[in-house]
Structure 1
Amino acid sequence: MVLLGVLLLLETTGVSPTQSLLVYVPSLFVVVGVWALVQSRFRNIVGPIVLIGVAGAWQLVTLEYATVDQVVVFWPVFVIAFGLSIITGQFRSRVRATDDAFTSAFAAFGGVEKRNTSRTFAGADLTAIFGGTELDLRDTEIESRPAQINAVALFGGVDIIVPRDWNVRMDVLPVLGGAADDRPRREGGHDELDLVVTGFAAFGGVSVSD
């Protein structure tokens, strides 16, 4: 964003023509997608891949290797990617799950609230489309750390309630959305990772609270 702003400022102030460089702006978002993949240690795949795909198609159009009409016909690919994000999230978490150790919640044009009290919590798959899902984990215990939750919010919100002392890592990729750990800052804690939240948020949000 800083680099894009500098290029735009140089162009608008007339200090230096940068239009020839601005055509490569979509490549910056490709880099962001690749960075998100590496940053999450490839735990979060679908969200970054979608960003890379959109930015890559945008770059082909700006460089006139393809037209908008040629690119738009592939929009159903993102519906497929959205479905794959749900499937992969369930598969990765259920590999380790037993009995009630895994929770699945899907909300479309409505709301779903669930609570897990398992002594061997392993993970969850939470999806909200034009709605909201909430998962309460305050009474759970994790046998094999870290547990993993795949959260997808599309024009909706996913809220995960966890014990205050849990160490949570957010690997959610927000695309015109938000992802945050809203718990109050606390002193001390432990280094061991308790929970990893992956997935992506588009025009929605994923939050962790206590």
Structure 2
Amino acid sequence: MNLHDDPNAPPAPTTRLWLGIAIIVFGILALLDNMPFFQGHDFVRTLWPLILIIIGVGKLSRSRDDKGIGGYVLIAAGAFFLVHNLTDGNISELFGPLVIVALGVFVVMKALRRNRGVPPELAASDAFVSSTAVFSGTKRRVVGQDFKGAELTAIFGGFELDLRQAALEAPQVRIDTFVLFGGGEIKVPQGWAVTMKGSAIVGGFDDKTLHLPSGEGAPRVHLVITGMVLFGGLVVSN
């Protein structure tokens, strides 16, 4: 069972590629600084921390484990300097709201873990997907014959789960989702029946899968999507 990238998928972008992207961004900022319409804004001085963020994202994309600390450091430093520049140095005024947001995210994550109540043996299984995107995005592809379910979370971010090469042994499997100011997409094989049982507030659950007629040839596997979407959206498609 392989819940990670398909071995036949293209390799991750190289560090040189991300460096090239960073150089292009710097060039665009310099170009804007020299255009009459934008003169006086000083884009290079204000937005140069984007270069650190791009390089940090590139380092994380090359990391195959949780040891890509260098990427996190670059992203954090870039975000700090960017906020500092955008607020003209009055970054201290943002600490209070940022602490409140961080506390809220922590409370939500703890509550989700308790409410979902995934059995430890299931959570530890390679056939179960657990994916969390906070101010970021995740993309997972399942290739195997015994998919057992998933818990997917997106807070100010997004997730994508591709099940088109997966199979179920159990007649019914559940995926629990939580989306807050973000979005998610789940892709399933055409032979699966999908039931949406989630709730949405200023958002929506959208089932775009192909529904086969009942009777002969009806789907033998059933995927149930539960959870909540707040100020965002979740799409299930083939």
TM range (shorter): 0.5 to 0.7
Q: What is the CA distance between 1:124 and its match in structure 2?
A: 0.4
Q: Which amino acid aligns with 1:119?
A: Q
Hey, what's the Cα distance between the residues in 2 that align with 1:78 and 1:163?
33
Does 2:222 match 1:200?
no
SS in 2 for 1:83: helix
SS in 1 for 2:118: helix
RMSD between aligned alpha carbons? 2.6
Tell me, yes or no, if the aligned pair for 1:116 and 1:139 is still in contact at 8 Å: yes
Match of 2:111 among 48, 65, 84: 84
Which has the higher Rg, Structure 1 or Structure 2?
A: 2
Tell me, yes or no, if the aligned pair for 2:161 and 2:185 is still in contact at 8 Å: yes
Tell me, yes or no, if the aligned pair for 2:158 and 2:184 is still in contact at 8 Å: yes
Report the equivalent of 2:129. 103
Report the equivalent of 2:72. none
SS in 1 for 2:197: strand
Match of 1:168 among 194, 199, 202: 194
Hey, what's the Cα distance between the residues in 2 that align with 1:142 and 1:154?
29
> Percent sequence identity over matched residues?
37
Gaps of 5+ in 1: 1-75
| TM-score, scaled to structure 1 | 0.56
Tell me, yes or no, if the aligned pair for 1:114 and 1:134 is still in contact at 8 Å: yes
Hey, what's the Cα distance between the residues in 2 that align with 1:180 and 1:192?
22
Count residues in correspondence.
Answer: 134
Tell me, yes or no, if the aligned pair for 1:90 and 1:124 is still in contact at 8 Å: no
Report the equivalent of 2:185. 159
Shift in CA distance, 191/141, structure 1 to aligned 2, threshold 3 Å = closer
Match of 1:142 among 164, 168, 174: 168
Q: What is the CA distance between 1:83 and its match in structure 2?
A: 3.3
SS in 1 for 2:226: strand
Does 2:218 match 1:209?
no
Tell me, yes or no, if the aligned pair for 2:192 and 2:220 is still in contact at 8 Å: no
Shift in CA distance, 80/178, structure 1 to aligned 2, threshold 3 Å = same
Tell me, yes or no, if the aligned pair for 1:138 and 1:163 is still in contact at 8 Å: yes
Hey, what's the Cα distance between the residues in 2 that align with 1:162 and 1:178?
18
Q: Which amino acid aligns with 1:116?
A: V
Match of 2:158 among 128, 132, 137: 132
Hey, what's the Cα distance between the residues in 1 that align with 2:212 and 2:145?
25
Hey, what's the Cα distance between the residues in 2 that align with 1:153 and 1:109?
12
Shift in CA distance, 143/185, structure 1 to aligned 2, threshold 3 Å = closer
Hey, what's the Cα distance between the residues in 2 that align with 1:86 and 1:130?
18
Q: What is the CA distance between 1:167 and its match in structure 2?
A: 0.3
